[in-house]
Structure 1
């Protein structure tokens, strides 16, 4: 049977592929250290678990509105007012089955065949694939390492055509961990306003910031930019709730209504119990969120020093998320490998350390290391990487 053309061009997830190989080696009895994790290694806070448990026994196990419960939308409303000073009406909020589903649904209602979306590279692996599934064209723009992997106004202007419909801004970024400053966002936003380009602002890592800086949403900078922006967020990373699958989108009421209509015919609604959990995440005590942030900050400082001390490895220091994205091209070449992908594969086979090749993120000279594991494992991983590099010199 011939599959639909739309799925024949999809690229398998690099992250999932390396994770599968690492699991295979573990099952064979090897001591594998996986640095590919895209989720916090903490459990969901107790008060969230308790709220979800109570909701089940209270009978909250039926359908909910397609766009999310009123209670959760109110919690998101309050969160946005408190954190960003932004006000959204109920019709400007949709709750989705994770932030990934929010992005997928947005592209489905936004794009017609041939519409272009500007995607700065390095990028999260699913952006281009979701755009292609909506019959759009991802326009990949190389955000240079010397610019801290950030899209510049010059880069953006050069990529705009008459078919440009939107641009993605991910801050803090997966995979680089870098953040845009307020002035940088303003410069990009002005160009988008001039050219009537929708801004897709992925802010899923906003609570995981470690440098002496503040997170800004581009929607905060003016009323015009708020109207031109769809914010994508969720509780997965901030409250260690990846498996609960609750995300949301905020923006223009016409767009949100279309997304809600599509969801009503595809997923019916986000899980009722998970919505109660997400409501508790936003309305309850935030101490556990801060503890997790502090732990990630400590890991970042140590891992960054260990990794950048290895010959042939350089790294832009991240300010958020929980990833390092070092350039290992010199090390790979010095070690006699034709590509970083080959270097990563050999590292896994010989030293049992699983990294994610940067090729899946549009940056073939780099690798992504997650520090969502213990300090002890991170230290051992760094020792193994150093040993691998030095052995192959």
Structure 2
């Protein structure tokens, strides 16, 4: 598998493409497995923490509906196209989940359209809010580092993306972007929308409600949308109310409720352990936006009617049951992330590990213990192609994600060159091996570079 080799029969886009950093290690490792099998070598086991593919069992009601569908039309094999926006029940499921985390007196009127996961929702949002393809007009404003798929979506659509910087300090904290920096970027770039990720991917930082309120105020004052990726809603590990763009009221930001400038990206992938279901939604308080989004989505006809039937089983789920389910997930991840944080700091002294406040990720920055030529992607490739650690009589390697793709960098060095992201997605017994595997593989790799330099 060769990337970077051009072929005049392919488009420039295909000639320049390489796998997402989320899939890079897995793609390369799969080639290693095939080569080992050809040689008669038993494949090494890879613990894959490069991509947020949750291994926990899905919600029992989703599983029950999958195993025992109730729609007679589907059971009888009549599988026609459905409505482009998705079914009313499937959309209401996402709205109900949002409202489960809001105060009882909230009277928001929300509109939803079913999408192919969160990435599909972001695609629709970018098409609806940013300037024409190839232009500098109305870019998407993000905060570095940001979820790599969103940058990839904007690039694929030819839409401009611009960024303000966040830095990881030596104590493991990613800073919030100062209000003044957002205002400065808005004046400079005149973006169509600001993207925030309150339960942050990739950093694991939790954005506080006060900060969201301030960002919403800036968007209101500049007549632009605010997009909030809330796929990890409820997965937070500090003592506070769960932040959300939907918690902002006129009391916090006068005029926000009538402005109709809010959009959230929703998904069942993480909070209901249903990554493979590929069910997400774009939710907004702007009815006109939903109508136009639906028109744009007619090109793709409709979301999966079978997957929506599975989702609809949550339509009558009570608020307290939703909160209890996600609370149990929160307890699970909190303990595991704390173990990971302590373990990585122990196994790799001098590394900077982001403090786990939310979502299921952490960033490890090696800038203080590697030389200027270190490239995290090369380390990832080493683990995928030849790295090996023996534990309890078994051969292991570790797949992590290089962070270069999480930064939108125009000039200067990409901070992601010394950073990797780790996702807490493998079964717990495997996750507890990760700190040791990471440390041993890193030192193996660093030693191999010394050997090469000596040759």
**TM exceeding 0.5:** yes
How much does 1:178 deviate?
0.9
1:83 aligns with 2:101: yes
Give the stretch that moved more between structures: 338-347 or 160-169.
338-347
1:137-216 alignment runs, 5 A limit:
137-146=160-169, 148-160=174-186, 161=188, 163-216=190-243
**C-alpha distance 76-158 of structure 1, shift in aligned 2 (>3 A):** same
How much does 1:384 deviate?
2.4
The corresponding residue for 1:132 is: 155
**Root-mean-square deviation (Å):** 2.5
2:219/2:226 contact within 8 Å kept: yes
How much does 1:337 deviate?
5.2
**Aligned with 2:311: secondary structure?**
helix
1:6/1:132 contact within 8 Å kept: no
Q: Deviations over 1:265-317 (max 9, x none)?
A: 22x11111211222224533545544333222221111110001222211221
**Aligned with 2:141: secondary structure?**
strand
**C-alpha distance 111-315 of structure 1, shift in aligned 2 (>3 A):** same
Q: Distance in 2 between matches of 1:331 and 1:390?
A: 11
1:341 aligns with 2:377: yes
Q: Distance in 2 between matches of 1:23 and 1:332?
A: 28
The corresponding residue for 1:298 is: 335
The corresponding residue for 1:50 is: 64
Q: Distance in 2 between matches of 1:186 and 1:100?
A: 24
1:275 aligns with 2:308: yes
Unaligned residue ranges in structure 1 (runs of 5+): none
1:329 aligns with 2:352: no
1:218 aligns with 2:251: no
Pick one of 122, 142, 165 that aligns with 1:119.
142
Greater helix share, structure number: 1
**Aligned with 2:299: secondary structure?**
helix
Q: Deviations over 1:114-171 (max 9, x none)?
A: 3211111111112122223343210022212246243321221221235311111012
Pick one of 216, 235, 243 that aligns with 2:276.
243
Q: TM-score, normalised by structure 2?
A: 0.78
2:126/2:140 contact within 8 Å kept: no
Q: Deviations over 1:174-230 (max 9, x none)?
A: 111111101111222222222122111110011322222332112321254352211
Paired residues, number: 389
The corresponding residue for 1:62 is: 80
**C-alpha distance 20-117 of structure 1, shift in aligned 2 (>3 A):** same
**Aligned with 2:308: secondary structure?**
helix
Pick one of 121, 132, 138 that aligns with 1:102.
121
Unaligned residue ranges in structure 2 (runs of 5+): 1-7, 37-42, 389-396, 408-415, 448-455
Q: Distance in 2 between matches of 1:48 and 1:170?
A: 26
Q: TM-score, normalised by structure 1?
A: 0.90
How much does 1:63 deviate?
2.5
Q: Distance in 2 between matches of 1:213 and 1:25?
A: 46
2:374/2:417 contact within 8 Å kept: no
